[in-house]
């Protein structure tokens, strides 16, 4: 079964991205890691989980882009991000990684919830620098976003569909392929603008 997903361009430009595991069943906005595999411990350490408390559970994801900055989605800000857990293999707790307090949030000025996914990214400033190596950013000229290119999505979202499905306890990854915004708009029946890129792929599970 094929799936189509919309990603904010600035977030998907990174090597790792995750979104909150909400209850939506709209094909264009599922926050899932379907058909994925567990990330090896010590890999994809620039992934950051958004939390209410240092030892709490991840409710959104982001990417470390500098020692003191994390890139995440603007729609996650409403959940009151107080802490980030960087480099953690697990969905909650403090047994590994770095738990750092968030001191300020900068939303994209053109983000609005009325335009779903458009300009949906924000920058978090951390209280102290992280010692973990930030993610390598994509080229500014967009050459990394060729149609058909393979990309990796990383996160601790739900590993199966349905409102009762639970988020994965360990960090997961899944491969998918970039598609044109025109194809995405047609497949997903949504409006796609230049602040977004789209991916599609095969869900590798028998019941999907």
State yes or no: pLDDT of 203 exceeds 60. Answer: no
**How remote is the C-alpha of 194 from its chain's centroid?**
18
Question: How confident is the model over 2-37, as pLDDT tens digits?
Answer: 444 554 443 433 433 433 333 333 333 445 566 678
pLDDT at 23: 30
Question: How confident is the model over 126-151, as pLDDT tens digits?
Answer: 999 999 999 998 888 878 888 888 88
Query: How many Å apart are CA 123 and CA 161, to the nearest integer?
Result: 29
Non-local CB neighbours of 170 within 8 Å, separated by 6+ positions: 38, 39, 89, 90, 91, 156
pTM for the full predicted model: 0.78
- 86's enclosing H/E stretch is strand 83-86
Are the CB atoms for 59 and 79 separated by under 8 Å?
yes
Are the CB atoms for 34 and 159 separated by under 8 Å?
yes
Q: Write down how long the chain is.
A: 208
The answer to whether domain 2-202 has CATH 3.40.395.10 is: no
């Amino acid at each position: 079964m094929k799936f189509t997903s919309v990603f904010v361009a600035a977030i998907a430009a990174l090597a790792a991205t995750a979104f909150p595991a909400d209850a939506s069943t709209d094909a264009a906005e599922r926050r899932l890691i379907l058909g994925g595999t567990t990330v090896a411990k010590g890999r994809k350490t620039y992934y950051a989980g958004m939390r209410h408390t240092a030892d709490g559970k991840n409710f959104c994801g982001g990417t470390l882009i500098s020692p003191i900055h994390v890139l995440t989605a603007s729609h996650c800000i409403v959940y009151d991000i107080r802490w980030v857990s960087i480099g953690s293999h697990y969905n909650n707790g403090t047994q590994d990684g770095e738990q750092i307090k968030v001191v300020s949030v900068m939303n994209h000025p053109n983000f609005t919830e009325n335009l779903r996914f458009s300009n949906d990214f924000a920058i978090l400033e951390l209280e102290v620098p992280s010692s973990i190596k930030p993610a390598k950013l994509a080229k500014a000229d967009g050459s990394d976003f060729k149609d058909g290119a393979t990309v990796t999505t990383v996160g601790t979202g739900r590993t199966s569909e349905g409102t009762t499905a639970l988020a994965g306890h360990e960090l997961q990854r899944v491969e998918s392929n970039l598609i044109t915004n025109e194809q995405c708009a047609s497949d997903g029946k949504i409006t796609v603008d230049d602040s977004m890129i789209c991916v599609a792929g095969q869900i590798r599970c028998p019941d999907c």
